[in-house]
Amino acid sequence: MSRLAVVCGGSRGVGRAVSRLLAQRGCRLVVVSRRDDAARAAVAELHGADHKAFSCDISKGEEVQKTFEMIQRMCGNISYLVNAAGINRDALLVRTKPEDMISLLHTNLLGSMLTCRAALRSMLHMQGAAVVNIGSVVGLKGNAGQCVYSASKAALEGFTRSLAKEVASRNVRVNLVAPGFIHTDMTAGLREEDRARAVPLARFGTPEEVAQAVLFLLEASYVTGQVLVVDGGLQLVM
Ligand code: NAP
CA 152, CA 163: separation in Å to the nearest integer? 16
Is pLDDT at 123 greater than 80 in this prediction?
Answer: yes
For 187-231, how does the pLDDT look when each residue is reduced to its tens digit (9 = 90+)?
Answer: 999 999 999 999 999 999 999 999 999 999 999 999 999 999 999
CA 31, CA 15: separation in Å to the nearest integer? 9
Ligand 1 pocket mutation pick from 7, 12, 89 by most atoms within 8 angstroms of CB? 12
H/E element, 132: strand 130-134
Is pLDDT at 1 greater than 90 in this prediction?
Answer: no
For 152-180, how does the pLDDT look when each residue is reduced to its tens digit (9 = 90+)?
Answer: 999 999 999 999 999 999 999 999 999 99
For 63-113, how does the pLDDT look when each residue is reduced to its tens digit (9 = 90+)?
Answer: 999 999 999 999 999 999 999 999 999 999 999 999 999 999 999 999 999
- Cα angle 151, 157, 161; round to 5: 150
Which among 54, 80, 149, 159 is annotated as catalytic? Answer: 149
- 80 as an active site residue: the answer is no
Ligand 1 pocket mutation pick from 30, 36, 87, 102 by most atoms within 8 angstroms of CB? 87
Tell the residue nearest (CA) to atom 9 of ligand 1: 9
CA atoms within 13 A on the CB side of 26: 3
Which pTM does this prediction carry?
0.99
